[in-house]
A and B are shown apart, each in its own frame.
Chain A
Amino acid sequence: MAEKATEKTGMEGEMEVDAYRRLFPLPFYERHLLDSLRPDGRPLSRSRDTSLSLGAVSSADGSALVKFGDTTMLAAIKLEVMTPSKESPDEGCLGIEFHMPPICSPIVRPGKPAEIAPVISKQLEDAILSSGLINLKELSLISGKAAWMTYVDIYCLNADGSLFDAALFAAVAAFSHLQIPLVSLSEGGRVITVSGENLDNPAKELVNKDKRNLTLHSIPFSLTCVLHKNYILADPTAEEESIMETLLTVVLDSSSQLISLYKPGGSVLAFKTTVQDCISHTRKRVKELQKILSEALSDMEID
């Protein structure tokens, strides 16, 4: 493949393949695409190796570490107590934030946050709220008095493309790992956690004895594809995203219902058939992700 890539440039022999790739990224990619194989050896529709480990953060109530190839996401959920609003006294709240710290990419610098981070935050919030993953009523503790404010923070530890997909998977995995702490009401009317020796013989009645886990209704999963000419590349790397600018992200729930579809600009028009192809790629991906999630959950039960 290396020889093929340097044909016809008049500069062969002078530079390494990496240099050619850096200078002429599009021709480099197009030569690979002719063989229906990407530079990392993947067929066009294949996602990168995906791994998930639950409970990576001991200071959180639920957490998950996700890897899509080199893209790494750490999601952690922390529960705090809030006073519900008058309009919805029986509901808690979700706060979702996506962070790109300077460690994750050469383009992020301290004091100069990545422009994409707030966009992904909003997309995550939309996907999680509109999928109905969480019933906010389940976050209620004492009607009108206390409910859970659920902070979901997702940190990108290494950015190599398909950030939204990996972040969404990390977030839903953290939700499935979430253990709600047992709480009781103190004299001052504050909600406090009960743990250790106090558990067997609580001074106060427990507020939430039967609600340690959230019921996750239809879980959202997503797949981003890069569109270039007639090619559809699933789960793109950062390089692929930067060279071929048209992205299409499909979010489906566990029963393959379409939740949302993003196509943030780009030059390639997404024809109906292209969109359908992307959706069917996403269906396959949802099955893979579901399997990874359920395996991680059953591993946890064994432990």
Chain B
Amino acid sequence: MAIETGEETLVTPGEVLGDSSDLIAGRGAYVAHHNGKIYSSLTGRCSIVPPLPGSSDQKPKVEIVGHKAHGAVPEPGSVVIARVTKVMAKMVSADIMCVGPKAVKEKFTGIIRQQDVRASEIDKVDMYLSFHPGDIVRAVVLSLGDARAYYLSTAKNELGVVSAQSIAGATMVPISWTEMQCPLTGQIEQRKVAKVN
């Protein structure tokens, strides 16, 4: 129970890390309301982070680091990479493959609704001229969505199609915000293209 600042010990779920009167529970730790104690909820190294100078709460924070955390799960605000599976008049469905820089073990289903494709002229969006099945899209998670899918949005410059294959089967090159070109045939296809840095 006497875990000193800077010291790192291995803990497992349910081990007492300290008291909420001296510490703040960080990631992998929680406060039990019945006794005010802080417990670990994960297996890992317990680390005590001193308070930032000038922050309102001057208690150090205890958190669990270096553990084998569970796989990435989409959360509102996460940037995800998804593969388009189906394009419909009012929305597209896509399989979320990565959350942030991490690949997910098993895909999650997301949908991009017509109003969430781009920021302007949202009622004029043609889904069929924005996405094709198989396109790789960068999107942000708007909300947990409904029972079936997470709601995704591409309504920012840096969001949209990041990789797409042409009808000829080649990886296309973006030429504008709305167009990509096949390097083999020179044919131009319409997409909601993500701005390349």
Contacts and interface: CB of A to CB of B under 8 A. Distances in A.
A–B touching in complex (CB under 8 Å): yes
Interface of A: 9-11, 14-16, 18-19, 21-23, 106
Contact of A10 (B81, B101, B196): B196
Interface of B: 81, 83, 97-98, 101-106, 136, 162-163, 196
Nearest to A9: B163
Given A10-B196, A15-B81, A106-B106, A22 B98 contact: yes
Contacts of B103: 15-16, 18-19, 21-23
Given A23-B81, A23-B83, A106-B106, A11 B162 contact: yes
A11 B105 CA distance: 20
A11 B163 CA distance: 9
B98 A23 contact: yes
Given A16-B101, A16-B102, A106-B106, 19 more contacts: A10-B163, A10-B196, A11-B162, A14-B101, A15-B98, A18-B102, A18-B103, A19-B97, A19-B98, A19-B101, A19-B103, A21-B103, A22-B97, A22-B98, A22-B104, A23-B81, A23-B97, A23-B103, A23-B136
Contact of A19 (B102, B163, B196): B102
B21 to A, nearest CB: 40
Contacts, number: 36
**Chain A contact residues, majority secondary structure:** loop
Contacts of A19: 81, 97-98, 101-103
A24 to B, nearest CB: 8
A15 B82 CA distance: 13
Nearest to B104: A22
Contacts of B106: 106
A280 B158 CA distance: 52
A43 B136 CA distance: 31
Nearest to B136: A23
Contacts of B97: 19, 22-23
Given A23-B83, A23-B136, A15 B101 contact: yes
Contacts of A9: 163
16 contacts: A10-B163, A11-B162, A11-B163, A15-B81, A18-B102, A18-B103, A19-B98, A19-B101, A19-B102, A22-B97, A22-B104, A23-B83, A23-B97, A23-B136, A23-B163, A106-B106
Residue of A9, A11, A21 ringed by the most chain B CB atoms within 10 A:
A11
